[in-house]
Chain A
Amino acid sequence: MLKDITLGQFFPGDSITHRLDARCKLIIVVLYIAALFTANGYISYALVIAVTALMIAVSHIPLKSLVRGLKPVMVIIIITAILNLFFTTGTPLVKLGPLTLTKEGVVRAVFMVLRITLLIMGTFLLTYTTSPMALTDGMEQLFNPLKKIKVPVHEMSMMMSMALRFIPTLIEETDKIMSAQKARGADFETGNIFQRAKALLPLLVPLFVSAFRRADELATAMESRCYHGGEGRTRMKQLVWAARDTIALLLFVVFLAAVIALRHFGL
C-alpha cells in the first residue's frame, strides 16, 4: 500500500534521458510545461502528445509506472473532467436533468484531462530518470544567481535533497511500525474518522520519535565531517553539460516555438 507511493522515486537506468544533464532536464521540463499550457487546438495537442510519447519511449520507463503515478491525483482529474463537461456553455448535446452536456464542454474536458495527465507524466519522467542528488544539484546551480540577492539557495537544495533522501526511509519505517502495531492487534482500517485518527497514535508517536532521532544523528554526522554550509564546498559528482544536452535543449526550444506558432494560427 504505502509502497505504491512512487512520488519522487528514481528508477535507475541507462537511457538517453537518464544520461542527460539534470540542469538540461529541468529546463526541458519548464519548456515542456510552457508548451503544454500554450497548446489549445487539436494539432498542438497532438504534437504535445507525440513529444510526450517520444520522451517516454527514449527513457525506457514502463508506461505502467507512469500510469501508477497518476493514481493519487485521479480524484482531481475526475472532478476537473466533470466540472468541464457540464459547466461549459455552448451547443447542447444531451440534457441530464438540470445538467446540460455541451459540445464545447466535451472538448474542454478532454483537453483538461489531457493537460493534467501530461503534466504529471512529464514531471514524473524527470524524477524517474534523475537521481535525487543530481536533481537537487541541478536546481542549486540553476538558482545560483539568486544567491546574489541573499536567497539561501544552497541550504534550500540541501534541505530538499535530505527530504528526498528520507522519504523512502520514512515510508519503510512507517510500514515497519504499522506492521509491528498490527501484530499487537492495532486496527488502522476500520472505524469512523475519530476512531481511525486515534488508531494512528501508535503509529505517529514512534514515527516522530524516530524522525527526531534520525535528524539528530544526521546533524551530528554532518558536523563531525565539518559541514558548514555551501561556502567553498566541492562535489564528488560534477554535473557535466555535454553536446547532447545542448541538442536536446534546442529540440525543445523548437518544440515550444512550434506550439506557440500553432496557437497563433488557432490550431
Chain B
Amino acid sequence: MTPIIRAEALQHTYSAGTPFEKVAIDQINLDIEPGQLVGIIGHTGSGKSTFIQHLNGLLKPTSGTVYFDGEDIHRSKEATRDVRFSVGLVFQYPEYQLFEETVYKDIAFGPKNMKLSEKEVDERVKEAAHFVGLSDDLMECSPLELSGGQKRRIAIAGVIAMRPKVLILDEPTAGLDPAGCRDILQNILDYKRETESTVLLVTHSMDDAARLADRLIVFHSGHIAFDGTPPEVFSHTLELLEIGLDVPQAARIAEALRERGVKLPESIYTADQLRDAVLDAWKGAGAC
C-alpha cells in the first residue's frame, strides 16, 4: 500500500537569516498509511504545528519533500492548492477564523472554494454539521454569538465539509471542558469510522492519545523521539518522563507498582489493562 502521506528529510527554519532564526523541525521522515488514526504528541514548541502545516502545503519545507498519494505536493501551484482540499487542517483554536454572517455560510466556505454545485455544497454542509452534532436551528445564527464549544464545532465542520481524505486536527480539545472534549473526540471517531478517512490528531493528553490512536508519534525539540503503536511507545515510560512528557495515568501507576516490586507486564497504558494486570499479579501472589 502506498502511504497516503510521506515526509522525506523534512526541515523547516523560521526567520532564516535573522537573529530570530529557529529550526523548528529537522530530519523528519515519516510514512502515514491510509485509514489510521495517528496521534501526534510532544510538548509546546516541539514542532508539531509546524510539521502538520507542511502536510497540506501551507508551509514550504526549507529542505525535504512532502508527498501526498505518492506525488510531491509542491510540484505545481495548482497541486499545492488542490492538496488543501484533500488534506483538511483544523488549526488550534479554530474558532477565531469564523467570519461569515451565518453558521451555514461559514461551513460552506471550503466547499464553495472547491467550486462545487450549490446542491453539492448544501449536502456537504448538512453532513458536516451532523458529524459535529450541530443542530439545524443553529445554521442561521451568527457564529460570533455562539459559545466557545459550538464555535469550535463549526470550525471543524468547515473543514470536514471539504471531505478531505486526511483530516488533521491541531489540539482540537484545547481549552474545552471535559464534557466538550469527550464529545468532540467522539465526533472525530465517528467521522473517521463512517468515512474511513485518515486522521492525524495533535494532542496534549496522553490518556486520549493512548485510548484513541492506532499509532503514536512523539515529537521532541523538532525531531521524532518515538514512533510506534501505543504499547510500543508507552513501554518507554521512563524516557518519556525524562523528556518532560506525561504518560497515561495507568502507565504511571504501573511504573510505581513495579518500583515497589509488583511484577507487572510491560506496556500497560489504559485503565482496563492495569486492572487486569493487577488482578493477575494479585492472584499470582495469593497462590504462593
Contact = CB atoms under 8 A, between A and B. Distances in A.
Contacts of B18: 65
Nearest to A12: B19
B99 A183 contact: no
Nearest to A60: B19
Contact of A184 (B14, B53, B109): B109
A135 to B, nearest CB: 18
A10 to B, nearest CB: 10
B97 A177 contact: yes
Interface residues of A, number: 24
Contacts of A180: 91, 94, 96-97
Contacts of A202: 97, 99, 109
Nearest to B113: A185
Q: Is the interface of A mostly helix, strand, loop or mixed?
A: helix
Contacts of A177: 96-97
A187 interface: yes
B85 interface: yes
A105 to B, nearest CB: 36
Contacts of B90: 183
Interface in A63-101: 64-65
A187 B96 contact: no
B53 A64 contact: no
Nearest to B88: A183
A209 B158 CA distance: 19
A210 B53 contact: no
B162 A185 contact: yes
A177 B93 CA distance: 11
Interface in B81-113: 81, 84-85, 88-91, 94, 96-99, 109-110, 113
A176 B113 contact: no
Interface in A163-184: 176-177, 179-184
Contacts of A203: 99
B114 interface: yes
A262 B50 CA distance: 56
B61 to A, nearest CB: 15
B251 to A, nearest CB: 34
B91 A206 contact: no
Nearest to B17: A64
A64 B88 CA distance: 38
11 contacts: A3-B14, A12-B19, A177-B97, A183-B90, A183-B159, A184-B110, A185-B81, A185-B110, A186-B113, A202-B99, A206-B99
Interface of B: 14-15, 17-19, 53, 56, 58, 81, 84-85, 88-91, 94, 96-99, 109-110, 113-114, 144, 158-159, 162
Q: For the complex of A and B, list the 6 residue pairs with the smallest distance between their C-beta atoms, beginning with the closest.
A: A185-B113, A205-B99, A184-B110, A180-B97, A183-B89, A180-B91
